[in-house]
Structure 1
Amino acid sequence: MTTTAALPWLRLSGPAEILSATPYLLGFHPANSLVVLGLRGTGLRFHVRGDLPDDRDDGEVLAEQYACMFAHHNVDAALLIGYGPAEPTGPFLFATRAAMLRHDIDVPEMLRAHEGRYWSLLCGSAECCPPEGRAYDVQTSTAAVEATVAGMVALPDRDAVVCSLAGPEGSGLAAIQEATDRAGLRLVRLATGRDVVPAVMSAGTAALAEAVARYRADQRLTDDEVAWLTVLLQVLAFRDRAWLRIDRDGRRGRAVHLRLWTDLVRRADPGMVAPAAMLLGYLHWRAGDGLRARVAVDRALDADPDYNGAKLMAEILDRAVPPAELPPLGQSRRRAVRRRKC
């Protein structure tokens, strides 16, 4: 399941425009999927994508889960889009609509799209909605133009998004593993005869500041620098400081942090990537990109299934918690301090 926040360029001006905008909202062209767009008033509140169920019984359960999720977020209405052939897409759409209505969520439109054509399943007019469907072209739509201007892309499918955050292979993998071994020895020398955590915090703060400056200048870290930062992030106190730095830099620094942490996730030793991947997942979630948040969190859990930070992010994504409902890390700490003082 993929969840994200609404994007400001979206214009819900009709079925073809909705269908053309959806791949840019998701970051890829969906197939065999249900997409639900939740509306509050006339604006898009948030949206969800999930795979089509294997059978009708699973579909009934999943439909109820979607309805409960959207009811929790107090949406007024939901637009349903099913991507796939008439079976099983149509029955699942109707099951989801029925569940939404049971939760007092209006469904003003319900579309099925397949092989470049769409059908409005709530339209009974053959003149308006012919049995053979209507053609639409994502590439030439107004929504596609607006998305491109906004810097959005729609990759061919979800696998392409996964590949875009994949770890190193071949000679790149061998090089970063050797660099990680050197970083491990460097950490041993740093900590010898000293309290480990203060030593790591000092070294890590300097390394992170250099990394942020480097990516702000559109430069990259060397393999040894990537490995050093990756090794230091294994210490939770420093991982939390990096997390706090992400929130402290806020929206203005988000693009820089996305470049930095994406590069680390792509280049780090796969066995050591969990902290960096979790932080990248957090960044994408804050930016409203639920798909890449999920892919990054999955990378973290693949590296370390027991990594608590990644499990926390997975739960946030599973529950479709929008970023607005959770304050940034630094902000929540400041509020806690103020409460204690009172």
Structure 2
Amino acid sequence: MTGLPRSDGLSRCSTAAKKASRSRCRIDAVVRTDPLNQEAPTTAERPTGARRIVGHFPSTGAAGPPSSTGSSTRRRGTWVGAGSVPVMDDIERTLTSARLSARTPDDLAAFVPLALGFVPERSVVMVSVGAPGPMNARVTLPHDPDDVDDLVEALLRPARLNQVSEVVVLVYDDDTTVADEAAWSIHEEFTAAGIRVHEVLRVHDQHWYAVLPGAPLAAYQGVPFSLDSHRFTAQGVLEGRVTHPSREALRATIATDDRAASLLAPTLDGAAELPAGALCALVRRHLELGTRFSGAELAAVSVSLRTGQLRDEAWVWLGREQARAAVELWSDAVRRLPATHVAGAAAVLGFCAWLAGDGALAWCAVDRCHEVEPTHSLGGLVAQLLDSATSPAQWEVLRPRLTASGDPAA
């Protein structure tokens, strides 16, 4: 990006050669939230670049009712001083005990890492606005501008599937050709598809940059913000939410703990499958008590997960209200198991993370599973759910079909 609005006469390149050289883009994170509801500007004098967005974001898999925000508590969408930045009024996220109101692009830039669980790098993040189809999604930027069409399709497909009608887009990258191509291609293709793009920002090195026309010059030159000191980050810490510095840091949270794996190894040697019904009962007990598998239990669990029918006992009965606790239980199991025994537990963790709305962690778990067993059936099922951006809210509809068809042994 040049730091100035793109000319209306300059359109993105679209050629047969581009389509012939496409590489597949993967949605790395889909996080379900409560709807964001956009309100139209209420003042005729409001500048073109100003937006007002109102919404509510839960911090857990359980969705609560939208809060009501009266007009007396809203600030008008305005420009603060000459050459300053647009105010984006009242993006709100409900955490466990507090509500966060985003009124500026700084707030939006601070919200995204909190929503994803990590700070994006070389990424495009789409945040849906309005019902139906609330979702957030992240896709890694390609290195080749010719592959931007893949990125756009990777975001547009689930947006259509989830009936998204309005979005805000953040491009995380330096001022590169790929970033520029991605920002404008998304704007043009989403608009052509009937999806309203309220705002496009580029974020890099603790600065955000305006992309769409209508903002002050300073917004195109870059506006600094501090993620560490932002009130959203502080509130997230109070609520016990962990925001990792990168996706790799998130992946490291489920990496093998060599010491724990070595301690477990002798127990694994003589472990036997659990009898029918025992795995389900064991998982239920640990979820209710908030405890973890003992060494002997984990050894038996890992062996049992190799059989499809027994593996079903670990996940098919779960509901969204249990998903976050299940993520904690199975994350601990994945860290303690050696590579030879981790595939089943990683696949179950991937499912639990998807059910909790944590798409980024779900993909990390699927990757761990497929590194060991590339054709693992449950790992493949979770990958399909993620690729299609299937909402965890659909789980009760999907469950009977999956239970009927069964999960064959990997």
Instruction: Using structure 2 for the length normalisation, give the TM-score.
Output: 0.70
Taking a change above 3 Å as real, the CA distance of residues 126 and 8 of structure 1, as seen in their structure-2 partners, is same
Counterpart of 2:249? 160
Counterpart of 1:137? 226
Q: How does 1:49-198 map to 2 (within 5 A)?
A: 49-87=138-176, 88-126=178-216, 129-169=218-258, 171-183=259-271, 186-187=272-273
Give the AA of the match of 1:148. V
Q: Is 1:269 matched with 2:269?
A: no
Taking a change above 3 Å as real, the CA distance of residues 328 and 12 of structure 1, as seen in their structure-2 partners, is farther
In the aligned structure 1, how far is the partner of 2:324 from the partner of 2:150?
39
Counterpart of 2:395? 326
Taking a change above 3 Å as real, the CA distance of residues 255 and 322 of structure 1, as seen in their structure-2 partners, is closer
Taking a change above 3 Å as real, the CA distance of residues 44 and 151 of structure 1, as seen in their structure-2 partners, is farther
Q: Is 1:306 matched with 2:375?
A: yes
Larger mean Cα displacement after TM superposition, 6-15 or 17-26 = 6-15
Specify which of 350, 359, 363 is matched with residue 281 of structure 1: 350
In the aligned structure 1, how far is the partner of 2:146 from the partner of 2:399?
44
Per-residue CA deviations over 1:40-88 (Å, capped at 9, x if unaligned) read: 25x8810111111112210123213322331222111111101111113
Taking a change above 3 Å as real, the CA distance of residues 74 and 220 of structure 1, as seen in their structure-2 partners, is closer
Report if the CA contact (8 A) 1:244-1:329 is conserved: no
Specify which of 288, 298, 308 is matched with residue 226 of structure 1: 298
Report if the CA contact (8 A) 1:82-1:113 is conserved: yes
In the aligned structure 2, how far is the partner of 1:51 from the partner of 1:73?
20
Per-residue CA deviations over 1:149-181 (Å, capped at 9, x if unaligned) read: 433221111111111001232x43333232211
Deviation at 1:335, TM superposition (A): 11
Secondary structure of the corresponding residue to residue 243 of structure 1: coil
Report if the CA contact (8 A) 1:68-1:103 is conserved: no
In the aligned structure 1, how far is the partner of 2:122 from the partner of 2:403?
45
Specify which of 115, 119, 122 is matched with residue 25 of structure 1: 115
Report if the CA contact (8 A) 2:128-2:136 is conserved: yes
Larger mean Cα displacement after TM superposition, 61-70 or 301-310 = 61-70
Report if the CA contact (8 A) 1:36-1:47 is conserved: yes
Secondary structure of the corresponding residue to residue 378 of structure 2: helix
In the aligned structure 1, how far is the partner of 2:257 from the partner of 2:354?
24
Taking a change above 3 Å as real, the CA distance of residues 168 and 141 of structure 1, as seen in their structure-2 partners, is closer
In the aligned structure 1, how far is the partner of 2:327 from the partner of 2:186?
35
Give the AA of the match of 2:254. L
Larger mean Cα displacement after TM superposition, 55-64 or 96-105 = 55-64
Q: How does 1:238-277 map to 2 (within 5 A)?
A: 238-247=310-319, 250-251=320-321, 253-277=322-346
In the aligned structure 2, how far is the partner of 1:26 from the partner of 1:316?
18
Q: Is 1:5 matched with 2:95?
A: no
Report if the CA contact (8 A) 1:111-1:120 is conserved: yes
Q: Percent identity?
A: 25
In the aligned structure 1, how far is the partner of 2:202 from the partner of 2:403?
47
In the aligned structure 2, how far is the partner of 1:104 from the partner of 1:154?
33
Per-residue CA deviations over 1:90-111 (Å, capped at 9, x if unaligned) read: 2211111111111111111000
Report if the CA contact (8 A) 2:324-2:356 is conserved: no
Give the AA of the match of 2:161. H
Give the AA of the match of 1:26. L
Report if the CA contact (8 A) 1:212-1:257 is conserved: no
- Flag structure 2 segments of 5+ consecutive residues without an equivalent: 1-27, 34-56, 60-92, 94-100, 406-410
Give the AA of the match of 1:144. T
Per-residue CA deviations over 1:127-147 (Å, capped at 9, x if unaligned) read: 5x4443111122333332443
Taking a change above 3 Å as real, the CA distance of residues 223 and 120 of structure 1, as seen in their structure-2 partners, is same
Report if the CA contact (8 A) 2:165-2:196 is conserved: yes
Deviation at 1:208, TM superposition (A): 4.7
Report if the CA contact (8 A) 1:23-1:29 is conserved: yes
Taking a change above 3 Å as real, the CA distance of residues 274 and 68 of structure 1, as seen in their structure-2 partners, is same
Secondary structure of the corresponding residue to residue 86 of structure 1: coil
In the aligned structure 2, how far is the partner of 1:74 from the partner of 1:263?
36
Taking a change above 3 Å as real, the CA distance of residues 102 and 144 of structure 1, as seen in their structure-2 partners, is same
Taking a change above 3 Å as real, the CA distance of residues 257 and 126 of structure 1, as seen in their structure-2 partners, is closer
Large movers: runs of 4+ above 6 Å: 333-336
Q: Over aligned residue pairs, what C-alpha RMSD do you find?
A: 2.5
Deviation at 1:19, TM superposition (A): 0.5
- Flag structure 1 segments of 5+ consecutive residues without an equivalent: 188-199, 337-342
Deviation at 1:281, TM superposition (A): 0.9
